[in-house]
Amino acid sequence: MPAPIIKVDAISKSFGTFKVLDGLSMQVMPGEKLALIGPSGSGKTTILRILMTLEKIDGGHIQVDGEQLYHMERNGQLLPADERHLARMRQKIGMVFQLFNLFPHKCVIDNVTLAPMLTKGVARAAAEKRAMELLDMVGLADKAKAMPAQLSGGQKQRVAIARALALSPKIMLFDEVTSALDPELVEEVLNVMRKLAAETDMTMLLVTHEMGFAHDFADRVLFFDRGRIVEEGKPDEIFRHPKQERTQSFLKKIIAAGHRV
């Protein structure tokens, strides 16, 4: 039995007096494809941002790839992580957001090469070679010199995926990456994720309202509500035979809103 690549242990997180996550625990196995579903405001983005070290936690522990994320082990003691530790841990994880946030004044290939050159000191020629491979993988090799404004939303999102992959993360986080897209552009982005899942052994965590995609794609589904995991299981269990009343009513609402399950 391999060790989990992500181990979240009783973490809590408040914004002001509002407790977003309350003693949340979860584990993810290497290579696992996990779908996080649940109502708006249930803490899905917050947990991804915490894993990405974009938010601090108030309590609990997180292990990523065998190391503490927010703590450093020094002489058998756990100390709060310093910026250097966080920067090193951050390279294990890539994230793609709902809104593309590409650098608007940089062309596509420069968007992809920037982080490896700046944070890892990769030489331009090597960074560009890798960037072209990644752009080819997402079907955008011919757009390398285009500016973000010249791209469709689906193309921008595929560049954002290539950019996150350029740092060779072990774990990829996708936060509603198709929600801001016109319906006809959704599939091209989902296809890139399918391809990634098929061609790599990357661990992937995905927040989505595309329940049909989650059903086909995920090994396991976590249903979040009010900062807690209310129910988890294989896609068929969650989507076809949800046990908890809150999962059932959430899925009913999603279907009523026109989403395919």
Ligand X SMILES: Nc1ncnc2c1ncn2[C@@H]1O[C@H](COP(=O)(O)OP(=O)(O)O)[C@@H](O)[C@H]1O
Which residues of this protein are in contact with ligand X, per CB under 6 A?
15, 20, 38, 40-46
155 binds Mg ion (CB under 5 A): no
Nearest CB to Mg ion, comparing residues 45 and 247: 45
Considering the complex, what minimum distance in angstroms separates the CB of residue 122 from ligand X?
32
Exposed / middle / buried, residue 185 (Cβ in 10 Å: 0-12, 13-18, 19+):
middle
Considering the complex, what minimum distance in angstroms separates the CB of residue 180 from Mg ion?
12
Nearest CB to ligand X, comparing residues 20 and 171: 20
178 binds Mg ion (CB under 5 A): no
Contacted by 94, from ligand X, Mg ion, none: CB < 5 to 8 Å by type = none
Q: What is the Cα–Cα distance from 118 to 126, expressed in whole angstroms?
A: 13
45 binds Mg ion (CB under 5 A): yes
Rg, the chain, Cα only: 19
**Left (φ > 0), alpha (ψ -120 to 50) or beta: where does 95 sit?**
beta
Nearest CB to ligand X, comparing residues 26 and 166: 26
Considering the complex, what minimum distance in angstroms separates the CB of residue 226 from Mg ion?
14
Considering the complex, what minimum distance in angstroms separates the CB of residue 140 from ligand X?
28
Q: What is the Cα–Cα distance from 23 to 165, expressed in whole angstroms?
A: 31
Considering the complex, what minimum distance in angstroms separates the CB of residue 56 from ligand X?
11
Type of residue numbered 34: L
247 binds Mg ion (CB under 5 A): no
Q: What is the Cα–Cα distance from 21 to 58, expressed in whole angstroms?
A: 10
Nearest CB to ligand X, comparing residues 49 and 194: 49
Q: Which residues pair with 62 in a beta bridge?
A: 8
Q: Please choose, out of 26-34, 42-50, 192-200, 239-247, the segment that lies near Mg ion by the rule CB under 5 A.
A: 42-50
Size of the site for Mg ion (CB under 5 A): 1
Q: Please choose, out of 45-53, 64-72, 127-135, 177-185, the segment that lies near Mg ion by the rule CB under 5 A.
A: 45-53
Considering the complex, what minimum distance in angstroms separates the CB of residue 36 from Mg ion?
9
46 binds Mg ion (CB under 5 A): no
Residue pair 69/62 in contact (Cβ under 8 Å)? The answer is yes
Contacted by 235, from Mg ion, ligand X, none: CB < 5 to 8 Å by type = none
Considering the complex, what minimum distance in angstroms separates the CB of residue 214 from ligand X?
14
Nearest CB to Mg ion, comparing residues 20 and 108: 20
Strand order in the sheet with 93-96: 93-96, 171-175, 203-207, 33-37, 220-225, 228-233
Exposed / middle / buried, residue 66 (Cβ in 10 Å: 0-12, 13-18, 19+):
exposed
Cα end-to-end distance, the chain, whole Å: 32
**Left (φ > 0), alpha (ψ -120 to 50) or beta: where does 176 sit?**
left
Residue pair 62/25 in contact (Cβ under 8 Å)? The answer is no
Contacted by 4, from ligand X, Mg ion, none: CB < 5 to 8 Å by type = none
Which residue ranges make up the site for Mg ion (CB under 5 A)? 45
